[in-house]
Chain A
Amino acid sequence: MKFRFGLRDLMTEALAGIAARPSRLLLTTLGTVVGVAALVSTVGLGQTASGQISERFDQMAATRVVVEPDEMEGRDGSIQATRLPWDAPDRVGRLAGVASAGIYAQVDIERARVRGLPIHDPRGTIDHDIPVVAASAGLVDAVNGVIGTGRFFDRGHDERGDDVVVLGRYAAERLGITRIEAMPTVFIGDRPYTVIGILDRTSARTDLLDAVILPMGTAITRYGLEAPDALEVRTVLGAAQLIGQQAALAIAPNNPSLLSVTAPPAPSSLRADVSTDVNAVFLALGGLALLVGGLGIANITLLSVMERVAEIGLRRSVGATRRHIAGQFVAESVMIGFLGGLIGAAIGVFVTIGVAVVQDWTPLLDERLAAAAPLLGALIGLVAGTYPAWRASTIEPITALRSG
Chain B
Amino acid sequence: MTTTDPDHGASQPVVEMIGIQRSFPGPPEVEAVRDVNLRIMDGEYLSIVGPSGSGKSTLLHLLGLLDRPTAGTYRLDGVDVRSLSERRRSMLRGERIGFVFQAFHLLPYRTVLENVALSMLYRPISRRDRIDRARATLERVGLSHRLNFEPTTLSGGERQRVAIARALAAQPTLLLADEPTGNLDSGNADTVLDVFDKLHAEGLTLAVITHDVDVSYRADRRVRIADGTLTEQWDDVPTPEAAT
Contact = CB atoms under 8 A, between A and B. Distances in A.
Contacts of A317: 64, 66, 93, 97, 99
Interface stretch (A135-143, A289-297, A320-328): A320-328
28 contacts: A1-B124, A2-B126, A3-B124, A4-B91, A4-B122, A4-B123, A5-B121, A9-B121, A13-B121, A16-B114, A19-B109, A315-B121, A315-B122, A316-B90, A316-B93, A317-B66, A317-B99, A318-B93, A318-B119, A318-B120, A318-B170, A319-B95, A319-B170, A322-B86, A322-B87, A322-B90, A397-B66, A401-B101
A130 to B, nearest CB: 83
Contact of A5 (B119, B122, B166): B122
Contacts of A5: 121-122
Contacts of B125: 2
Nearest to A10: B121
Q: Which 3 pairs of residues, A with B, have the shortest CB-CB distance?
A: A319-B94, A20-B109, A319-B122
B103 interface: yes
Interface size class of A (residues with CB under 8 A): 20 to 34
A19 B108 CA distance: 12
Given A316-B90, A318-B170, A398-B67, A4 B124 contact: yes
Interface string A106-121: 0000000000000000
B82 interface: no
A315 B93 CA distance: 11
Contacts of B122: 4-5, 315, 318-321, 324
Nearest to A318: B119
Interface string B107-139: 111100010001111111111000000000000
A10 to B, nearest CB: 10
Interface stretch (A181-189, A259-267, A273-281, A306-314): A306-314
A401 B102 CA distance: 10
Contacts of A311: 105, 107
Given A16-B110, A319-B95, A320-B122, A310 B103 contact: yes
Q: Which of A5, A8, A398 has the most CB of B within 10 A?
A: A398
Interface string A16-46: 1001100000000000000000000000000
B8 interface: no
Q: Which of A1, A19, A314 has the most CB of B within 10 A?
A: A314
Given A316-B90, A321-B86, A398-B66, A2 B124 contact: yes
Given A13-B121, A398-B61, A8 B127 contact: yes
Given A4-B122, A20-B109, A398-B67, A320 B103 contact: no
A321 B124 contact: no
Contacts of B64: 317
Contacts of A314: 101, 105, 107, 118
Interface string B56-70: 010001001011000
A16 B91 contact: no
Given A2-B126, A3-B124, A9-B127, A320 B105 contact: no
Interface in A377-404: 396-398, 401-402, 404
B94 A318 contact: yes
A313 B105 contact: yes
A79 B122 CA distance: 67
A3 B124 CA distance: 6
A397 B60 CA distance: 12
Nearest to B109: A20
Contacts of B103: 310, 401, 404
A8 B121 CA distance: 11
Contact of A404 (B90, B91, B105): B105
Contacts of A404: 103, 105
B142 to A, nearest CB: 22
A317 to B, nearest CB: 5
Contacts of B97: 317
A394 to B, nearest CB: 11
Nearest to B67: A398
A372 to B, nearest CB: 33
A4 to B, nearest CB: 5
Contacts of B66: 316-317, 396-398, 401
Contacts of B57: 402
Contacts of A310: 103, 105
Nearest to A311: B107
Nearest to A403: B103
Nearest to B96: A319
A402 B60 CA distance: 12
Contacts of B110: 16
A320 B94 contact: yes
Nearest to B104: A404
A3 B122 CA distance: 9
A310 B166 CA distance: 16
A316 B91 CA distance: 9
Q: Which of A13, A322, A401, A404 has the most CB of B within 10 A?
A: A401
Contact of B90 (A319, A396, A402): A319
Contacts of A402: 57
Contacts of A2: 124-126
A402 B57 CA distance: 9
Nearest to B97: A317
A322 B91 CA distance: 11
Contacts of B114: 16
